[in-house]
Structure formats: structure tokens, C-alpha cells
Amino acid sequence: MDKLIITCAITGAEVTKEHNEAVPYTALEMADAAYGAYKAGASIIHLHARMDDGTPTQDKERFKILIDAIHKKCPDVIIQVSTGGAVGMTRDERLDVLKNNPEMATLDCGTLNFGGDDIFVNTENDIKYFANKMNDLGVRYEMECFEKGHIDTTIRFIKKGIIKNHLHYSFVLGVRGGMTGEERDFLFLKDSIPENATYSVAGIGRYEFTLAELSIKHGGHVRVGLEDNIFIEKGVLTKSNAELVGKVVSIAKKYNREIASPQEARKILGMEKQ
Ligand code: KMH
Ligand code: ZN
């Protein structure tokens, strides 16, 4: 099995300090959170930008400040910027971050309900538009799939040559409106992607560590972080992103799965540092 790539989704767009005080907003908080996660074993930081008051933004200038602050503390870590942003943002607003020429970004592969009245919109034309932009700029993308239909869309797009970099999936399971994160869901998705693809699993809320363990056992990769889950165990708020990463590292030890450094992660994902 490949070494384990741990991605840490340090902040997201929905969770706030009211949910957990450790959610980072400022550049200093983001850099500290990323550094802690990196020291604990994360090789990829999945990054959303927020203003100092926590408001989500895709503004390229704000992203640049955050990326620079993180790279100052951990220069070799892979920063995967979100092109999902927050519910309600326009296509071009979400893509503003690409002007920073990031090493990696997300490509969201379908629309879904996102709790309450929210809909996270990713039409077929949106996905094409995002993929074409990233292909043109040479940005590596991770395909975020919240249910099986999203994987089917990627397979059609691969056949058409629209999706064409190393095939790396992220199964984001447990969103209210997407697929749940039971073992059968994980096995179904894992068996539905192309043979040459790699995958990572992000379990939302209570699914975070059960899915991490399943993915570790089956040779997949793992994403954890405050964007996805604010608890270290049932009813106990986590102190930090680093603590969540540390828990994954201890699960990996149980299965003798070594942890990938950022450079090793680049190799596994067929990326070269630009
Ligand atoms: N905040 C969600 C609406 C991504 O990062 O690409 C979208 C999201 C996906 O988090
Ligand atoms: Zn995200």
C-alpha cells in the first residue's frame, strides 16, 4: 500500500468559532493551525479563506496572504485551495483564487442539498468550466464527490477528455443532502472509480474517524479537520486541527500504514512541485 496522505481541512466556510473556538480565521490562526496539522502528519492543507471576522471569501488577495503565511511556517506543505468556497458564491467568484496559481485545488463534481435551504450548486457546465480553467493553468485538482452520481459525471468527463490530470478523488460523506458515510457507502464509491485512480475520504461529523479507519485499511487516503468535524470523540470538542490529525496517525499505526511527507504525497499523486 502507498504511504498514507493526510489532508487537513483546517477551517471550511460553514463552521464558526461559536461551534468550536479553535476554528481559525486570521492569517496567524490559519498559519498556526496549518503548521500544527503539518507537524502532526498532514501533507496537504485544504484551504478556505476567511476574513478576520470569519466571513468566507474567495478573494485572491486574501488567499495570497493566507498561503504566504502558511508557507512561511511550512514551506513544503501542499496547499489545496477550495474552489467550492461557500454556498451562494458565483462561478467566477469561486475561481478568483486560481489567479494565485495554486499547486492544487478542489473540483466539485455535482450539485447537492447542503442542509436547510442551502444548495451547493455545481452544474455540468460549472464543472466543465472549472476543469477547463484548471487544465489551462496547470492546476492539479482533487475531485470532490458527495455521492455516486458525482463519480459517474467524472467518468463521462474523463471519456470526453475534460478531466485529464492524475485521477484523485475525495469522497465527502455525511453532508445533509449527500450520501451517508456507512461502510457500504464507502465500499460502493471506492469500487466505482477508475482502477488507476487514488482516493481520499472525508467523513463529516460522526463519520470522520470511522471512515478514516476504513480508508486506511483499504489503502485509501484520509482528510480530517475542523471544516468536517469539531469533536475529537463523542461530545468532546477537539482542541485543534493537529489533534484530529494526531488521531488519524494513531489509527494508521494500528494498521502499520506509514505517513507520507508532502514530497511523498506529490509522488503518489503524480504531481511535481512547480
Ligand atoms: N463549503 C462548501 C459549500 C470545496 O472545498 O471544494 C463547499 C466545499 C467544497 O467546501
Ligand atoms: Zn472545503
Protein residue closest via CA to atom 4 of ligand 1: 84
C-beta 225 within 6 A of ligand 1: no
Burial of 28 (0-12, 13-18, 19+ CB in 10 A): exposed
C-alpha distances (whole Å) from 28 to each of 67, 97, 250 are: 11, 19, 28
Residue from 8, 82, 104 whose mutation best tests the ligand 1 pocket (most atoms within 8 A of CB): 82
pLDDT at 124: 97
- Specify whether the CB–CB gap between 212 and 255 falls below 8 A: no
Q: Do the bridges between strand 198-203 and strand 221-224 make them parallel or antiparallel, or are there none, so unpaired?
A: parallel
**pLDDT number for residue 272:** 72
Contact 120, 111 (CB under 8 A): yes
Chain-centroid distance of CA 107 in Å reads 10
Beta bridge partners, 178, equal 176
What's the pLDDT at 120?
Answer: 98
pLDDT computed for residue 274 by the predictor: 42
Mean pLDDT by runs of 10 across the 274 residues of the chain is 98 98 98 98 98 98 98 98 98 98 98 97 98 97 98 98 95 97 98 97 98 98 98 98 98 98 97 64
pLDDT at 63: 98
CA–CA dist 205, 229 (Å, integer): 4
Q: How far is the CA of 46 from the centre of ligand 2 (A)?
A: 7
SS3 (DSSP) at 145: strand
147 and 110 Cβ atoms separated by less than 8 Å: yes
Enter the C-alpha cell of residue 215.
480508508
Sign of torsion, CA 14 18 22 28? positive
> Separation of 48 CA from ligand 1 center, angstroms?
8
